[in-house]
Structure 1
């Protein structure tokens, strides 16, 4: 018996050893469960895989080694399926064979607007379901409510309708287990249902950002006692903030920015929120009513209250937020001087936005400023620019204040010391426009070599543009308008090859327009050189600026002809391509820096920012330009405003002016244009401003709803007739019906034909009058001949028009 046991033991040892050796040698390399492997292969058959991501899903492979598969290392069962990005097609129900699947990730795909398959509600082991941004639409199947193990559900970036319907279809055992629910960026509308919302008592995260959810936030929100994050950023929620939020003891993140909330918020709303870290509530019409001695129960990292009513003083309780690094209280009716405690408090901030208030006086001198964003704009701060010792300021906006004096110390030296040169490697935006600053622009811009935006407009700067401007190789936007700058543009400026927007208008710059503009600024979208002293011809090299949408050269001393190649401005002629450079918009949270342009159109000045990308404008007015208006300009069919007034242009208005169907403003006044108005001008159906006055135009004003609705002053000091002018037209002013006016150079074509055509015409005339002339004196024959003559003349006219 003893020997028998020994034999069995030896056998088992040998078997175990051989099995281990076989496993190590790869004989048991098929860890994947066979039924589940076949289910995955069937699932793959219905998928579209243009990027061939699932190329290693084949008959012979171990599915646990396939792309996107996570298996249990012991049992071989498929636990997780991660198939994000660029898949499409259908979702095969073979997934039901993955009975141990607890994580299904199909995000960032395109399933073409199909409904979420109802069978997913039968994957009982699911803990995490991510179907975000995958092109699902329709009704969320109620079967998802059967997922009793589900903890996290993300259906963001799809296309669903009513938020109440979504929540209703998730009722069931899902309500009791769900901890994270994300429905961001859908098209959800309607109200958050009070009775349904309160059922999700285990929710930790509820995210509904960027939808169209309306009505007040329900009181039942206070029942979600485990809620740590509530995000309804950018919806249409209205009414007052429910006091029940004060019961959310575990709430850490509260995002309600950009809704329609109104009313008062008191300390009751924050009574028990001891864990709150980030309060984002900007863009509402809420008023904070707390006592001066109120001590908040929380310590915030971020506080966003833009557009609230906080005034008249900055709330004192803010100074007790010892870990606060991000403070945004723009447009909050704060006035007066900043409190004395703000000087030391501000040293802890990384982000400060106190713009658009009524603060005045000198800004407190600070020992340390580690800001990434520092926005004091649109207040009434005065005195010298505040010393900024730190070199870490990424975005610095001091515009629209009353700062005065030189900027040399501010830009060139640390702490105002001449031996401590500034080096601002991290600065991307410097905006000092609309102040009372003076002196020269210092020649130390190489210290700010990472600047993307430099705005110094509407100050009192003098002198030339410093040569060190050429070191700003990352510069996208340069605004120097409305100063007293002079001289020629430095050649070093052509090193700023990434420029999108250049506004040097309303200065005293002179010389010729640089030819290198066309070669160096290949991405340029906006160029405004108006109201300067530039002279000479317009260089045709400007025509290489294929992205140029706004060109203003008005109020200079430019001469010569308008280059015909202006018709090659691609961005003015065709619809904008998605790859075109876009207007600058830098945003951080709810803080945005928008590019802008100040333009004259329809006889008035407009400032464009949000809509700048849509504006297309060409203004060459008030120069000494000669010659005819090039017919090629009519190719610029995206133009909204064209101003060629106050020049010395001659000839006719181009016959194809009607091709510029988006024109809203057309000013050709105070030139020497002649001839009749082209009939095609009547097709400018968007035209709301037209000025053709003070020219030598003649004939009838074409009939259209737009033209006759304009004021008669648009046509004065010409020889025009017909509505809206009081002067009636004579028969001689009538144009042959259905015949469009030809441009002036075509009118001369008949006289420039070959001698053969001229001889033929003269011979015809002599022969015609020799034979028929005598008959005209006989009355009966005269009547007949006049009729024949009318027919012949009309026939001849039509032949000439068709031929030439």
Structure 2
């Protein structure tokens, strides 16, 4: 019988696969892709145009570019699909150490040879105020582009309108140079946004000047029908339209940040049509008038920041009706009257409220603190400082069970970590410190300064075992400073100045930094002197 007839069909199938693989020499296995030579050369050319003082790209010399730091290849085709060169020291921006890991130089057009590149992150580097190259807008395969915190300048390229697949664009332009207030990046024309209308879901242009975009800037952004997050923090905007054209489509918007633009405007009604909003930041935009009842339509709202504006009137109960509200900041406005209606609404409608942070500092609120405050059982931050509140600290504050039980909060609000704190300073509060406050086991900051609280500091104050800052200054406390304070190992700032306390500071109190403020009549056996302060080295005279 002919030999070919004896061969099984499986042999021919295997033989065909073998021939196919021979014709695709650049493909690696699914578990270990091996880079394509032309793309390796494109990456090497890109590297040569960069400066790398810390040697972050030292691995960019090995044969397989798919194993280079910051490079990711498709497991099936081996094409480069991702370049992530964000600065690993980006959390150290404030003290300048981020510069140690910064890349610099220029972006080379060889990146356009990476035909399947979908992810490019060059954030938190230092490109020394060079312009964003126009050719970046020709990497049409991009779905994610992050150039934030990297010291670019000039006009945002209109070629970005070619990136029709782009889903996320981050151009946040704040820098950490000596001049923090110069707007280096600008977008005078926004017509390119229309090219992203069917794909873009996230856009951050904070600190990029939009002053040249004219009064129709919002209409340009409203064409982004898929947009879920829009961040325009400090963009030199000067006009806030009170209405939108019927063609505008921002129905999917979940996060809107227009903070630190100067609108001098009432709250526009079109905001209340954005019923998908979860977070709304309107800090320092010079909003005027009262809080609109239209906020009741934003049933999904979790974060509302209206701080540092010119809002007035009473805080309406309508804000207490928002069922998912977690973070509310109305501080530094001109609100007046009592807060009973608002706090009672929170208590009545939600019982165990979802509210985690409430800040009403530097307003003009008066009246006493209501018992309904104790119903905010999930509250971690309460700041009612610098108002005209009176009466005593309510015992119901011991019911803030989130602080009692130490429930962790992994969320961030306005770039600040949630830390359990109560600040009632700068009011007209009197009476004694209720012992129920000592039940707030995980409290980290307690500030009752500049009130008229009297009586003694509770001897068992050590129950606040996680306390870091205790400020009871400028009150009417009397008696001795409790020795039990020394048992709070986490305490690093203590201010009991300008009271009627007697005795001395517990010798067992030890701080990493000199952070005890005394200034009482009898410390070290006599009025505290500079000599005594130098001797103890942990006492500062006010």
Say yes or no: TM over 0.5: yes
Q: Are positions 1:555 and 2:381 aligned together?
A: no
Match of 2:222 in 1: 389
Q: 1:444·1:468 contact (CA, 8 Å) conserved in 2?
A: no
Query: Pairwise mapping of residues 365-764 of structure 1 onto structure 2 (< 5 A)?
Result: 365=191, 366-367=193-194, 369-370=197-198, 371-383=200-212, 384=215, 385-387=217-219, 388-390=221-223, 391-408=225-242, 412-414=243-245, 420=246, 422=248, 424-513=250-339, 514=342, 515-520=344-349, 522-576=353-407, 582-584=409-411, 594-596=412-414, 609=416, 612-613=417-418, 615-706=419-510, 710=514, 714-722=517-525, 725-726=528-529
Query: Pairwise mapping of residues 63-212 of structure 1 onto structure 2 (< 5 A)?
Result: 202-206=28-32
Q: 1:423·1:448 contact (CA, 8 Å) conserved in 2?
A: no
Q: 1:376·1:399 contact (CA, 8 Å) conserved in 2?
A: yes
d(CA) in 2 for partners of 1:325, 1:202: 25
Match of 1:312 in 2: 130
- Deviation, structure 1 residue 499: 0.9
Q: 2:433·2:453 contact (CA, 8 Å) conserved in 1?
A: yes
d(CA) in 2 for partners of 1:660, 1:373: 42
SS, match of residue 136 in structure 2: helix
Provide structure 2 residue ranges, at least 5 long, that are not aligned to the other structure: 1-20, 22-26, 41-53, 89-101, 175-183, 533-542
Change (3 A) 1:326 1:711: closer
C-alpha root-mean-square deviation of aligned residues, in Å?
3.6
Provide structure 1 residue ranges, at least 5 long, that are not aligned to the other structure: 1-178, 180-200, 208-220, 228-235, 260-268, 415-419, 585-593, 597-607, 730-804
d(CA) in 2 for partners of 1:555, 1:258: 52
Tell me how many residue pairs correspond in the alignment: 456
Q: 1:255·1:280 contact (CA, 8 Å) conserved in 2?
A: no
- Deviation, structure 1 residue 347: 5.8
Query: Pairwise mapping of residues 317-356 of structure 1 onto structure 2 (< 5 A)?
Result: 317-342=135-160, 344-345=161-162, 349-356=166-173
- Deviation, structure 1 residue 299: 4.7
Deviations 1:92-130 (A, max 9, x none): xxxxxxxxxxxxxxxxxxxxxxxxxxxxxxxxxxxxxxx
Q: 2:153·2:185 contact (CA, 8 Å) conserved in 1?
A: yes
Query: Pairwise mapping of residues 214-253 of structure 1 onto structure 2 (< 5 A)?
Result: 238-244=56-62
- Deviation, structure 1 residue 652: 1.0
> Greater CA deviation, 384-393 or 645-654?
384-393
Q: 1:293·1:317 contact (CA, 8 Å) conserved in 2?
A: no
Q: 2:502·2:520 contact (CA, 8 Å) conserved in 1?
A: no
Bigger CA radius of gyration: 1
Q: Which has the higher contact order (CA 8 A, sep 6+)?
A: 2
Change (3 A) 1:340 1:392: closer
Change (3 A) 1:222 1:479: same
Q: 1:553·1:620 contact (CA, 8 Å) conserved in 2?
A: yes
SS, match of residue 362 in structure 1: coil
Query: Pairwise mapping of residues 293-304 of structure 1 onto structure 2 (< 5 A)?
Result: 296=113, 298-304=115-121
SS, match of residue 444 in structure 1: helix
Q: 1:363·1:386 contact (CA, 8 Å) conserved in 2?
A: no
d(CA) in 1 for partners of 2:68, 2:512: 53
- Deviation, structure 1 residue 669: 1.0
SS, match of residue 509 in structure 1: strand
d(CA) in 2 for partners of 1:709, 1:433: 36
Change (3 A) 1:400 1:290: closer
d(CA) in 2 for partners of 1:727, 1:279: 59
Match of 1:112 in 2: none
SS, match of residue 402 in structure 1: coil
d(CA) in 1 for partners of 2:59, 2:531: 67
Change (3 A) 1:445 1:202: closer
Change (3 A) 1:496 1:257: farther
Match of 1:95 in 2: none
Match of 2:51 in 1: none
TM-score by length of 1: 0.52
TM-score by length of 2: 0.75
